[in-house]
Structure 1
Amino acid sequence: MGLGLFGTPLYVNEKCLVFSAFVLAVYWLPHSKTWQHSVIAGFILACLAYVMLAWYDYIYDCNDKLRPTILGWMWGWAKPPSYSKEFNALPVKYKKIVRTVDIVVLVSLLALAFSPYVRVF
């Protein structure tokens, strides 16, 4: 949506409205009873939104495309091919950092997912 900000014309961007409706629909799904599952659902929602924005940039040839980020190893398969090319061009050192952070995040999320079902003495 331009909304007249930063010298842009006032117009409605239908794609942004659909994206916002998707995020709201997921937000209003039934909530889990444990806070751990709410954290996981929030993470998944944020990642889906991020991947959808990457595809939006790719399809509509936006100038400000999303670059490889920390969760690139985990979600790179779901992003446009240009993202994979940029990620593969990174130095090995940075790829290892990204992979390590992604594994730590994934293990943390799995621990949160199963923690409500584990009894600790």
Structure 2
Amino acid sequence: MPADFNRVAHDWLDNEAGPVVRPYAMTQGRVVPEGGELDLVAFVVATTGGPAGRTASLQPEHHAIVAAAWEPISIVELAAGLDLSIGVVRVLLGDLRSAGLISLYEPPAASQPHDVDVLKAVVNGLRAL
């Protein structure tokens, strides 16, 4: 995993106060990603294309996510590496997914419901202790 994530010094960063731009400003007040919720351990991979007109309206954070996702990376690692909150990253990923600039791959265990019989067996085993 790249350590720097193409970090660039910005005028709106202050070492003492932190970023001046609030999370709701980066997401235009949105709190739910387009296309539904995203699993924290899902892998993000940048695609090679997408509609050319959609990239002009992207914010610097969108571009940073695409740059960091040329190799598969989890949503949690993206948020940590870019120093953004997980909620902001989820909303921005929803934008990128709808623009066709990224692909998301969720682990099979996260997309399948839990087996109730297995959970009951675990609870019974814990009670037996």
**Normalization by structure 2: what TM-score?**
0.27
**Normalization by structure 1: what TM-score?**
0.28
Higher relative contact order (CA 8 A, sep 6+): 2
Q: Greater helix percent: which structure?
A: 1
